[in-house]
Amino acid sequence: MTIASFVSGPIRLATALLLLYLRLRIRYRPRKSVLFVGQAYYNAWYLSRGLRTIGWRAEVFNWDTNPSSQIYYHGEDISLMSPALKGTGAKLRFYVHALLTYDVFHFSNAHGLSFGMEITFCYFRIPSIQLIELLRRAGKKIVYSNNGCLDGVSQSSFRKWQTPPVCDECRWRAEPSVCSDVRNLTWGAFRNRMADYQCTIGGNRADYNDDPRVHEVPEFYCLDPEVWRPDLPVPATFMLPAKPGQVRLYHAVGNFDTRTDKSGINIKSTHIYVPLVRRLQSEGIDVDFVFFSNVPNIDLRYYQVQADVFLDMLTFGFFGATAREAMMLGKPVVCYLRPSWLESIRQELPGYVEELPVVSATPSTAYETVRALVLDPDLRRRIGEKSRQFALKWHSSEAGKRRLNRIYSELLGISNQA
């Protein structure tokens, strides 16, 4: 398919000339320039700030217009909701500016290879999907970051990872508008056709994740070690009631109401941890269950730093953003680590698996695992220290800028010297 198939009339020649100009620029003068299109929690924000320190032009474009999602983000350079992007003319100018300015476009999240908009100009409509295809025709490099179980993997394949299937605990298992074989695989096919390089973490290599362009890149999922630090001062408004000797067990679920089914079951294992904590309390063990949902992420760290142990998913097979935050804060994390996924990660990053300090547990072992941590403060301290060092090495913005500098530079065929 050519560009002429979706633009015609008086702008066809101008578009063709623009494409030729862009191809020549990319071929002979690639630049250290990247636009992060869409948010990935705060990962792209801190990564972009890090890349700037080593000579990259790096900006974040937030096209998410859902007000309830904004609590998970820490910053942006331009937003689709900005007055500067009101109107079709402004959107077209922004898109052309992006084509002329950036040589790498880094997208994130399932169904997130998008600018979140379509453009209408001179009665001609350019759908969002074709804005992505135009990037490829212009010779741009497209990078993509995976974000979970429905990202390029069918529900049927994901159910095979264990018995009983982890999908049985997911609120979206019977919601085809969110997760289904057709939806997930259709997205995976498009994603793999568009992206030159894909970042993932967790070893879930099935269907379209089993592809040579998909790589374990934990460094993309990065944090600022100064924002999450063990000695973080806590403002008075975020202080939790203090009780000497009490151990705080932290658990969090974003969008708890929509991710939990009518029986109280969710993929984050809340239904397992609540009775576990009650059992400990019934035995006279002084623990407090610290639970939060829908708190702005930038504020959540003040509660997190006051916790002693983090409780993450017990059936999914790997950990997410909350556990990375916990490790950066120097806290021990309990989460199920699927052996087959670890082995998959080990093939590409053996050091990551060997150094990983997360304490693996299943629903049947979680009680003893948590109890041991509660009763042994020295064990918590040792694991917490290892967690901080691990997070600094693999999930800091410093690590992120080094790894992504190499990845982007290799894609562009330029020197990766900072």
Calculate helix-pair angle for 128-137, 88-101, nearest 10 degrees. Answer: 20
The residues, ordered by sequence, that sit 6+ positions from 23 with a Cβ below 8 Å of its Cβ are: 138, 139
Token reading at 133: 């295809």
Token reading at 370: 């948590």
Task: State how far the alpha carbon of 362 is from the alpha carbons of 53, 219, 317, in Å.
Answer: 42, 27, 9
Neighbouring CB atoms inside 10 A of 374's CB total: 21
> Which residue, 167, 217, 162, 179, is CA-closest to 337?
162
- 3-state class (DSSP) for residue 162: coil
Neighbouring CB atoms inside 10 A of 389's CB total: 14
- pTM score of the predicted model: 0.92
The rounded distance, in Å, linking the Cα atoms of 352 and 221 is 14
The pLDDT profile of the chain, 418 residues, written as one tens digit per residue, is: 333 333 333 345 455 546 655 555 555 578 899 999 999 999 999 999 999 999 999 999 999 999 999 999 999 999 999 999 988 788 988 998 999 899 999 999 999 999 999 887 666 778 888 899 989 988 999 999 999 899 999 999 999 999 899 999 998 898 999 999 999 999 999 999 999 999 999 989 999 999 999 999 999 999 999 999 999 999 999 999 989 999 999 999 887 778 888 888 999 999 999 999 999 999 999 999 999 888 999 999 999 999 999 999 999 999 999 999 999 999 999 999 999 999 999 999 999 999 999 999 999 999 999 999 999 999 999 999 999 999 999 999 999 999 999 999 999 999 877 6
Token reading at 145: 């970051």
Question: What domains, with CATH codes, occur in the chain?
Answer: 6-222+399-412 (3.40.50), 236-395 (3.40.50.2000)
- 3-state class (DSSP) for residue 269: coil
The rounded distance, in Å, linking the Cα atoms of 383 and 229 is 15
- Residue 213: its pLDDT value, please? 96
Q: Are strands 214-216 and 287-292 parallel, antiparallel or unpaired?
A: unpaired
Query: Is the Cβ–Cβ distance between 320 and 311 less than 8 Å?
Result: no
Burial pattern 223-233, b for ≥16 Cβ within 10 A else e, equals bbbebbeeeee
The residues, ordered by sequence, that sit 6+ positions from 3 with a Cβ below 8 Å of its Cβ are: 12, 15, 16, 19, 134, 137
Q: Are strands 104-108 and 78-79 parallel, antiparallel or unpaired?
A: unpaired
DSSP track, 253-287: -TTHHHHS-TTS--TT-HHHHHHHHHHHHHTT--E
> Which residue, 103, 125, 105, is CA-closest to 6?
125
> Which residue, 96, 83, 81, is CA-closest to 39?
81
The rounded distance, in Å, linking the Cα atoms of 385 and 329 is 9
- Residue 3: its pLDDT value, please? 31
Neighbouring CB atoms inside 10 A of 33's CB total: 18
Burial pattern 103-112, b for ≥16 Cβ within 10 A else e, equals bbbbbbbbeb
Residue with tokens 């916990």: 326
What is the separation, in whole angstroms, between the first and last Cα of the chain? 39
Helix H, strand E, coil C: the string for 95-144 is HHHHHHHCCEEEEECCCCCCCCCCEEECCEEECHHHHHHHHHHCCCEEEE
The rounded distance, in Å, linking the Cα atoms of 61 and 123 is 26
- Residue 28: its pLDDT value, please? 55
The rounded distance, in Å, linking the Cα atoms of 341 and 360 is 13
